[in-house]
Amino acid sequence: MRPEILNPLFAEIEALKGVGKGLAKPLGRLKLEQIVDILFHLPTGWIDRKHVETLDMADAGRIVTAIVTPTDYQSRGPRSPLRVQAVDGEGNVISLVYFNNPGWAKKLLPLDEPRAISGRMELYGQELQIVHPDIVVKPDEIGEIPKREPVYALSEGLTNKRIGQLAAQALERAPQLPEWIEPGLKEREGWPDWREAIETTHGNPADEKGRRRLAYDEIFANQLALALVRESTRNRRGEALSPDGRLRDQLRLPYEPTGAQKRSTAEVEADVQQEQPMLRLLQGDVGSGKTLVAVNALLMAVEYGAQGALLAPTEILARQHYDTISTMLSGLPVNVAVLTGRDKGKVRESTLMGLADGSVDILIGTHAIFQEAVQYKKLALAVIDEQHRFGVAQRMMLAQKAQRPPHLLVMTATPIPRTLTLTHYGEMDVSRLDEMPPGRQPIETRVLASARLDEVVDGLGRHIAKGGQAYWVCPLVEESELSDQAAAEERARLLQARFGEDRVGLVHGRMKGPEKDAVMERFQRAELSVLVATTVIEVGVDVPNATLMIVEGADRFGLAQLHQLRGRVGRGDAQSICLLLRGDTLSETARARLKLLRETNDGFRIAEEDLRLRGAGELLGTRQSGDVGFRVASPELVSDLAPTANDDARLLIENEGGLDSARGEAARIALYLFKRDAAVPLMRSG
């Protein structure tokens, strides 16, 4: 139950004065639904207003506040701007320019009556002017114009002033809270108390200590929640497996496993022999051989006389895993089954019966495999593919499903820097596949200007004439009426006109699952030569015959996302090529990103660089990072503070009595304050 002291902050946003349904709508677009959300909607910057008595050309380019007296209105006609000529106390002249609603401007600035004005003063020829002053008030109100004004992220229908007023109301409700930061750390950093930090960050956004403290609080709450999940899992007794290797010894592989695959398999084997359920994250670049480690893990459960399950995020990926694993295990006495939403009637019934009586050894499927109707005789180990689609909350549900929680191996093909591994998967042990199996050719990457589009289309024609297949990924279209779906539809239409409707397929995120899967399957069966897509194909599909990847508007994508897209090709024996089409004007960041992709195929290096260049949200894909959702902590602060917060959270749980201690009571408030309280019920104290 939420601590009572926080109740004033968790009231709906309408509890603030002046917020009705009309204002709640634009606030809702910014996800500001409770008073606590306004409190943590911190300024993104600030405006400094210089209060001056005399207007001076030396201040051109600055935002100034001064008292002036309007002396004349000048306009060349009804559609021309209104220029209000005004003078300061020394007789210096300034033009206040209004491009519309001259009647309103004259009302604001009546002739011969002094007014306090504030806005950006520019030099226009030899004349000082302010276009549309931000503030115009009576002279006795000049003291109310702030010298430093916070700037907030806005949506349509909101002004900076309005958010500032709501923040002031929210701050009035903010209580003094007990301290959850370890005293030595707080003293070393010189951090203020929580309430003082939130107050100064809204009032003086340039104050770094306050903002840093609040970022630390949020990261600490996140790490504490993960540490509680870890502790809860470690305290629940699973089943210690004793795999004997008899099935794994019969695997006939066409290649020698890499050192990284052998090391990761050994780490899994050591984990599953403990009563504490395994919680291990397997990180491996595209093509690094995660499937072999997963198969070895599943066979460990079968060797012990129990069952294993593999969960994939989509139906097409689940069936792909089923085909691959069935082929790898052919000739072994292991019964593998598949279960997705598509399976109905007798096929489904037969699979469910096999799970219940133990005749199905390994089940592969979508999230349907953990539904209530699916009962296992003895599920001992679960593998989850593409971990970022399956957040902490689902991991907790899975851990609580069985009387004896299964060992859990989760895999991701998105290499993640250490600090983000901590903040997304801090409750897990980590194995890394940092070597590539022999024989995989590096993908040749070229960057071309979009002006060469016609050449690229001609090259695509030659490629498919030789029997090759290609992906064409369309850009994210930002700040435009178009969406990436519209861009993909238009590109597909143009390519179909050139190569024929039956040769070019289209997939995008708004298509229904079965519809999308049907197109993907046609591409897998080589019925389609070109697959035009949005980033929905970033993860998963394995088409060895597709050796050409074209990414349009490549400068708009994150580095790791481009690397994932590139990883869709290079899956067969033939040389693969990735063409990155860039816009005409490139930012320095985009230039650095594309240069790095040309230089390296190393996903771990790319991920570290992406975090430095772009930030955490883009690294995991905007939607994918949503299960962590930091509101206060920027990617740079996450990188900087996560290791300390992680150590402190573990110290609190392992050495200081957890949430039952005095500091733990305060930390419990932090969990609720930052909406990380799903982990609280996991504590033994409840």
Domains of the chain: 1-47+160-171 (1.10.150), 50-145 (2.40.50.140), 213-235+640-682 (no CATH), 248-433 (3.40.50.300), 444-600 (3.40.50.300)
Categorize the per-residue pLDDT at 427 as very low, low, confident or very high, splitting at 50, 70 and 90. confident
Dihedrals φ, ψ of 62, to 5°? -100, 160
Question: Which pLDDT value is given to residue 541?
Answer: 67
Cα angle, residue 675 at apex, residues 1 and 371 outer, rounded to 5°: 80
pLDDT confidence band for 241 (50 / 70 / 90): very high
The candidate with the shortest Cα–Cα distance to 296, out of 338, 255, 253, 240, is 253
Residues 6+ apart with CB under 8 A from 419: 611, 638, 639, 642, 643
Look at residue 618 in the predicted model and tell me its pLDDT.
39
> Tell me, what's the pLDDT at 345?
84
Residue 548's pLDDT is: 96
Helices 635-655, 662-673: crossing angle, 10 deg rounding? 140
Res 604 pLDDT > 50? yes
- List pLDDT tens digits, range 549-566: 999 989 888 787 888 889
Q: In this predicted structure, what is the pLDDT of residue 540?
A: 56
Question: What pLDDT score does 682 carry?
Answer: 57
The secondary structure of residue 632, as a DSSP letter, is: S
How far apart, in whole angstroms, are the C-alpha atoms of residue 314 and residue 309?
15
Contact by Cβ (8 Å): 74, 35: no
Distance CA 546, CA 526 (A): 9
Kindly tell me if the per-residue pLDDT of 613 is higher than 50.
Answer: yes
Q: Region 129-155: what's the mean pLDDT?
A: 92
- The answer to whether the CB of 35 falls within 8 A of the CB of 170 is yes
Cα gap 58→79, rounded to integer Å: 32
Q: What is the mean pLDDT of residues 529-544?
A: 77
Angle (CA) 582-585-587 rounded to 5° is 90
The pLDDT value recorded for residue 537 is 66
Residues 6+ apart with CB under 8 A from 11: 34, 35, 173
The arithmetic mean of pLDDT across residues 8-32, rounded, is 93
Does position 544 have pLDDT exceeding 70, yes or no? yes
pLDDT score, position 485? 62
Summarize pLDDT for 350-360 with one digit per residue, the tens: 999 999 999 99
Residue type at 93? V
Of 18-27, 602-611, 612-621, highest mean pLDDT: 18-27
Is pLDDT at 627 greater than 70 in this prediction? Answer: no
Helix (H) or strand (E) holding 459, with range, is helix 453-465
Each residue's pLDDT tens digit, 499-522 = 999 999 998 877 887 888 889 889
Residue 480 has pLDDT above 60, yes or no: no
CA-closest candidate to residue 272, choices 413, 404, 454: 404
Q: Regarding predicted confidence, which is higher, 664 or 557?
A: 664
Who's near 275: CB < 8 A, 6+ residues apart? 237, 238, 239, 240
- Main-chain dihedrals φ then ψ at residue 83, nearest 5 degrees: -110, 115
Label residue 616 by pLDDT band (50, 70, 90): very low
Grade residue 476 by pLDDT with cuts at 50, 70 and 90: low
The token duo for 388 is 């970022």
The C-alpha R_g of the chain, in whole angstroms, comes to 30
- Per-residue confidence (pLDDT) for residue 630, from 0 to 100: 85
Q: What are phi and psi of 601, to 5 degrees?
A: -105, 5
The confidence score (pLDDT) of residue 429 equals 87
E strand or H helix at 384: strand 379-384
What local confidence, expressed as pLDDT, does residue 593 receive?
85
Q: What is the mean pLDDT of residues 528-533?
A: 94
Q: What is the DSSP letter of 12?
A: B
Q: Where are the alpha helices (DSSP H) in 329-390?
A: 345-357
- DSSP letter string over 470-530? EEEEPPP--SSS--HHHHHHHHHHHHHHHH-TTTEEEE-TTS-HHHHHHHHHHHHTTS-SE
Indicate whether 234 pLDDT > 90: no
Backbone angles phi, psi at 282, to 5 degrees: -105, 110
Q: What's the pLDDT band for 681 if we cut at 50, 70, 90?
A: low
| Residue 12 bridge partners (DSSP) | 34
Q: Is residue 211 packed enough to be buried (19+ CB in 10 Å), middle (13-18) or exposed (0-12)?
A: buried
Dihedrals φ, ψ of 65, to 5°?
A: -125, 125
pLDDT digits (tens, 9 = 90+) for 96-124: 999 988 889 999 999 999 999 999 999 99
- Amino acid at position 671, single letter: L
Specify the pLDDT at position 389: 54
Residue 361: pLDDT over 80: yes
Q: What is the mean pLDDT of the chain?
A: 87
Confidence (pLDDT) at 401: 53
Mean pLDDT value of segment 182-192 = 95
Average pLDDT over residues 448-454: 92
- Nearest CA to 542 among 343, 316, 388? 316
Q: What is the DSSP letter of 544?
A: T
Evaluated on CA atoms 22, 27, 31, 36, the torsion sign reads negative
Across residues 185-208, what is the average pLDDT? 94
Residue 118 pairs in a beta bridge with: 65, 135
Q: Of 517, 558, 519, which is closest to residue 535 (Cα–Cα)?
A: 558
Most confident of 248-262, 291-305, 631-645, 666-680: 291-305
pLDDT at 623 over 90: no
What DSSP element (H or E) covers 314?
none
DSSP letter string, 178-230: ---S-HHHHHHHTPPPHHHHHHHHHH-TT-HHHHHHHHHHHHHHHHHHHHHHH
Pick from 1, 37, 30: nearest CA to 16 = 37
Q: What pLDDT score was predicted for residue 95?
A: 96
Question: Can you tell me the distance from the alpha carbon of 514 to that of 437, in angstroms, rounded to the nearest whole number?
Answer: 33
Confidence at 390, pLDDT banded by 50, 70, 90:
low
- Residue 39 has a pLDDT of 96
Q: Are 36 and 16 in contact (CB under 8 A)?
A: no
pLDDT band per the 50, 70, 90 thresholds, residue 188: very high
Over 90: is that where the pLDDT of 423 sits?
Answer: no
What mean pLDDT is predicted for residues 237-259? 91
Judged on CB neighbours under 10 Å (0-12, 13-18, 19+), 382 is: buried
Please give the Cα distance from 529 to 462 (Å, whole number).
12
